[in-house]
Amino acid sequence: MSANDEAAVSTALVERIINGDKQAETEMVQRYHEGLMCVLFHYSNNPDQVEDIAQETWRLIVEKLRSNQLKDKERLAGFIVSIGKNQFKMQFRKNKNKEFIDEADVELPANKMTEPFKALERRKTLDTIKGVIGKLTKSRDREILTRFYLDQDNKDTLRQEYDLSELHFNRVLFRARQRFKQLWSSDANKNNRKSDKLKKNDKK
């Protein structure tokens, strides 16, 4: 979907919500919930906390939209992201623990599933990571992961080139990472089996 199409959908949803259309509220959550969760998981490794914050975020969003507090109706996705981030900041101040990750510290979810991406800092694994990315079947997955993580291209630049909103870009990036991690894990398991087989042969 182009940025213009997204703006039109966003405007229509907001206007319907302002006019008291409950179905529009449901459609909004269905449309943007996955993208919101992608953003929230950038800051926490606790699914329960993320879900709680997501629910509070949606409550606030609906409340603000009903009272016509969004000035630019075309920027609904950015509005959702902004409120979600603010809720995390508030929770971080309350809890003051490292389950919450400051945006300046890291771009990725702080959990064990991001280990292959942390390995990008270790040059000895770079060729392996490039090889796994090269196995991805979707060309956009290969391009975005390579440019965002390896070439370190700016996110806004990539969004403009691919004509994606911030929420949509985060969703695309999240799904590409999921597919990468599946391949990474599959290759790791194969290597472990080969290693175990070699060890058994050495003992014979």
Q: What pLDDT is stored for residue 107 in this prediction?
A: 38
Does residue 15 or residue 180 have the better pLDDT? 15
> Does residue 185 belong to any structural domain of this protein?
yes
Interatomic CA distance for residues 185 and 88, integer angstroms: 30
Same domain? 60 vs 126: no
Same domain? 102 vs 115: no
Same domain? 103 vs 132: no
> Does residue 204 belong to any structural domain of this protein?
no
- What is the arithmetic mean of pLDDT over 158-171? 88
Q: Are 57 and 122 in contact (CB under 8 A)?
A: no
> Does residue 162 belong to any structural domain of this protein?
yes
Domain count across the chain: 2
Give the pair of three-digit tokens for residue 186.
Answer: 């599959």
- What is the arithmetic mean of pLDDT over 54-83? 92
> Does residue 41 belong to any structural domain of this protein?
yes
Among 75, 107, 139, which residue terminates a domain? 107
pLDDT at 98 over 70: no
Measured at the alpha carbon of residue 176, what is the angle toward residues 171 and 178, in degrees to the nearest 5? 95
Among 85, 107, 129, which residue terminates a domain? 107
pLDDT at 5 over 80: no
Q: Map residue 85 onto helix, strand or coil.
A: helix
Tell me the CATH number at 23. Answer: 1.10.1740.10
Q: What pLDDT is stored for residue 189 in this prediction?
A: 72
pLDDT at 117 over 90: no
Measured at the alpha carbon of residue 170, what is the angle toward residues 134 and 39, in degrees to the nearest 5? 130
Among 56, 82, 107, which residue terminates a domain? 107
Domain holding 189, by residue range, is 111-199
Same domain? 31 vs 101: yes
Q: How far is CA 127 from the centre of its chain?
A: 25
pTM for this predicted structure? 0.50
Q: Map residue 100 onto helix, strand or coil.
A: strand
Largest Cα separation within the chain, whole Å, is 77
Cβ of 143: how many Cβ atoms within 10 Å?
18
Same domain? 21 vs 44: yes
